[in-house]
Structure 1
Amino acid sequence: MKLKPFLLASAMHALFVPPAAADQTQYPLQLENCGHELRFEAAPARAVTIGQSTTEILYALGLGEQVVGTSVWFNPVLPEFEAVNAQVERLADNDPSFESVVAKRPELVTAMYEWHVGPEGIVASREMFHDLGVATYVMPSDCASKDNSVGLDGTRSELFDTAQLYRGITELALIHDAQAQGAALLNDLRTREAAAIAKAESLDLPSDSTALFWFSSPEIASDPYVAGQQGVPAYMMAQLGLDNVVQSREEWPSVGWETLAKADPDFIILAEMERRRFPADSLEAKRQFLETDPVTREMTAVREGRILAMQAHAMDPSIRAIYALEKLADDLAGFDLTQ
C-alpha cells in the first residue's frame, strides 16, 4: 500500500520539525490556554493531575516529585514510572472531588478533559480554582478545533493532530522550567510517530480496508461508544490507511449494533482498561459479546478473528497514542486481506 500524500507529508514533518528550545524559562511566564490567560511567577512546586495523560507527561518530564495527587486512571501507569507513581497519592481512580484536589494545596491543576475542569466541569470550573489562586492547565487537544458542548464527549471540527499533544508537552515543560526534558521527549515521540507511519507503507492492505474502535457501553448489549471521525483513533486509521465505518463527527458517539454490523468493518479494535464504570469496560466481556450475539458474530472481523486490543488510554490524546500507533502497525502486519 502506498502512503497517501498527506500521510507522507505528516511523516516527513514528524521527522524534521526541530525539538522545542532547551532554554531556561523566563518568569514571569504568560501563556494562553483554552481561552484562559495564565501567569506563572515561578515553576509550580505542587501539581495535581486530573487525567492520566498529564500524569504520565509530567512523569516523562522528570517532574514526579512535584506531583502530589493523581486521578482518572484507565490503565496501570507505564512500567517506567511505577516507582515514582508509587510515591504519589491517588485521589481517585475516576473523578476526584473538588475538595480532595484543593486539600493537596496545589499550585497547578492539570486536566486532560474540559468536562472535568471547564465551563461545566464535573470536578470544578477553572474559575473555582483560579479564585483560590490555583492555576489550571487543560491539554490543548481537548479544546483545539473541538466543541465540548456538543455530544457526550465533544465534537471535533478537524481531525486530531499530534501537534496538539506536542503543544501540551511543550507548554507543560515551559511552565515547569523543564525545557531540556521536553525537547528530549518530543524528539523521541516524533521519531516514533514517523517510524510507525512509514511502516504503513509495508502493510499492503486493500485501499478500502475499514475499522471500528469500540471503547465501552453503558450495558454490554446496548449501543456502544465508538470512535468518531475526528479523534485519536481516526488519526490512527488515517495514518494506517484504514477507513472508519462510523460517520459521526462526535468524539465518542453511541451507535447501534445493527448499523455497525451492516457497515461490517474489516477490523475491530477493543479498548482494554482496568476501570469498571460500565460492564463493557471489560475486554473479555466485549469479546464474548461479539462472538456470541446473533448480530455481531456474523460480522467479518469477528468471523475472521480480526479483533485487536488497545489500551483505552491510548485512544485519547496522550503519549500512549504514539506507542499504540506503533503497535497497531505491527498487529496489522500479521493480516493478509488480499487472499
Structure 2
Amino acid sequence: MMTRFPLITLVVLASAPAAMAAPTEYPLTIDNCGHALTFPARPDNVVSIGQATTEILYALGQADRMAGTSLWFNEVLPRFAEEDAKVERISDNAPSFESVVNKRPGFVPAVFEWMIGDQGAVGTRQQFADLGVPAYVMPADCQGKDNLVGSDGTRLVPFDIQTLWDGIDQMAEVMDAQEAGDALITDLQAREAAVVERVRDLDLADVSAAVWFSSADLELDPYMAGGMGIPAWMLQRLGLRNVVTSDEEWPTVGWETIARADPSVLVIARMDRRRFPADDVDEKLRFLKSDPVTSQMIAVRGNRIVILDAEAMHASIRLIDGLEHLARGMEGLAE
C-alpha cells in the first residue's frame, strides 16, 4: 500500500555566516581522479563538456570566463538563462576535439569520464595535456567507479554525495570562487536535509521503484538506473527500494524482468535531447500504457509515474532539485 506524502512547506534553513575564504594561490595543482592538473593562473576561455559542469560554473558566477558549453539534456535552469544566452553552445551533444581546443581553453571540466578518459569520445586526457589544457572530470564519475566496464561504467561502491561537494569545491578553487562555492554547497546540503526530514517519519516500508532513463529503441531493453548510482541514492534517501540491483550505472534490463519485480513507482526521465526515440517523455508514456507487458504493471495501472528532468539524475546542482521533485511527486500518488 502506497502511503501518501503529506504536503509540507519546505523550510529554507539559515546558516551561520561563513568565514571569508582565502583566495586561490596560483600556480594551483589539484588531484583529479588520480591525475595531477596544474593551473598557472585563473583560467580563461573555459569550455565545459556537460550541462552539470556548465550550471555549476554559472552558479559560481563564472559565465564571463566561459567560451563554450556542450552536452545538454535539458533546458538551462531559468535563473541562468541570461548568462547562458551569452555563452556559445558548441554542441548539444558531445563536441569534437577540434571545436573545444579551437577556443584555446584554460580549463575543460567534464561531467563524464567517457568524454575525456582513456577512451574519450571528445579526446583523451593526454591529447588535452599535450596542448597544455587541463581536462577535468567530476569526482562523482570516477571515484568508486570503473568506467571501462559496462556502457556507462560500473559502480564499485554506492554513489556518495560527498563526491558532488568535492567537485563543486575543486571547481570553485580552480576559478578562485571559493566563497561562492562554499555558499552553494551549504545551500544544497540544507535543502537535502530538509527534504529528507520531510519524509523520514513516513511509513514507506518496502515501497519499490524503478528509474527509466531512455532506450536505444522502444522495442529494445530500456536503460534503467543501476543499484548503486545517483538515482538509486535518491530513492534510498526517500526510503524507496530500487528493483534493479546491477552495479552498472545504466544497465539494459528487459521489461519482463521489471514487470516481474512490479515496482510500486516508476520514475522516468524527461529530456530535450533526441538521440533516441525514447528520449521523448511522451513516447515513454505512450509505450508504458500500450505495451502488453508494461501496461499491466501496478505503477502504470495506478498512474504511479513520476517524471524527472534527466539532468536531475546526474551529479549536478539539479540533483537536489530532483530529490525535492520526487518527494513532491509522490504526494499525489494513489494509495
> Cα–Cα, structure 1 residues 320 and 252, in superposed 2: closer, same or farther, change >3 Å?
same
Deviations 1:148-195 (A, max 9, x none): 011110011111111100100000000111011111111111101111
Q: By how many angstroms is 1:247 displaced?
A: 1.4
Distance 2:172 2:22 in 1: 11
Distance 1:230 1:204 in 2: 23
Deviations 1:284-304 (A, max 9, x none): 000000000011000000000
TM-score (norm 1): 0.92
Report SS of the residue matched to 2:113.
coil
Deviations 1:30-54 (A, max 9, x none): 1100111011121102200001010
For 1:168, the equivalent position in structure 2 comes to 167
Amino acid at match of 2:44: A
Matching residue within 243, 246, 249 for 2:247: 249
For 1:42, the equivalent position in structure 2 comes to 41
Q: CA RMSD in A?
A: 1.7
Amino acid at match of 2:69: T
Deviations 1:93-112 (A, max 9, x none): 10100000011111111100
> Cα–Cα, structure 1 residues 133 and 156, in superposed 2: closer, same or farther, change >3 Å?
same
TM-score (norm 2): 0.93
Matching residue within 322, 325, 329 for 2:323: 325
Instruction: Kindly indicate whether residue 66 of structure 2 is the aligned counterpart of residue 32 of structure 1.
Output: no
Report SS of the residue matched to 1:53.
helix
For 1:215, the equivalent position in structure 2 comes to 213
Report SS of the residue matched to 2:200.
helix
- Structure 1 residue ranges (4+ consecutive) displaced by more than 2 angstroms after TM superposition: 14-21, 202-205, 333-337
Unaligned runs of 5+ in 2: 1-12
For 1:120, the equivalent position in structure 2 comes to 119
Amino acid at match of 1:223: D
Distance 2:210 2:295 in 1: 15
Of all paired residues, the percent bearing the same amino acid is 53
Instruction: Kindly indicate whether residue 300 of structure 2 is the aligned counterpart of residue 280 of structure 1.
Output: no
Q: By how many angstroms is 1:327 displaced?
A: 1.2
Note if contact 1:49-1:55 (Cα within 8 Å) is conserved in structure 2.
yes
Report SS of the residue matched to 1:305.
coil
> Cα–Cα, structure 1 residues 214 and 27, in superposed 2: closer, same or farther, change >3 Å?
same
Note if contact 1:170-1:179 (Cα within 8 Å) is conserved in structure 2.
yes
> Cα–Cα, structure 1 residues 329 and 19, in superposed 2: closer, same or farther, change >3 Å?
farther
Map residues 183-332 of structure 1 onto 2, 5 A cutoff.
Answer: 183-205=182-204, 207-332=205-330
> Cα–Cα, structure 1 residues 300 and 311, in superposed 2: closer, same or farther, change >3 Å?
same
Distance 2:174 2:98 in 1: 24
Map residues 97-108 of structure 1 onto 2, 5 A cutoff.
Answer: 97-108=96-107
Deviations 1:115-150 (A, max 9, x none): 111100010001101100111111000100000011
Distance 2:49 2:288 in 1: 33
Q: By how many angstroms is 1:19 displaced?
A: 6.9
For 1:180, the equivalent position in structure 2 comes to 179
Unaligned runs of 5+ in 1: 1-13
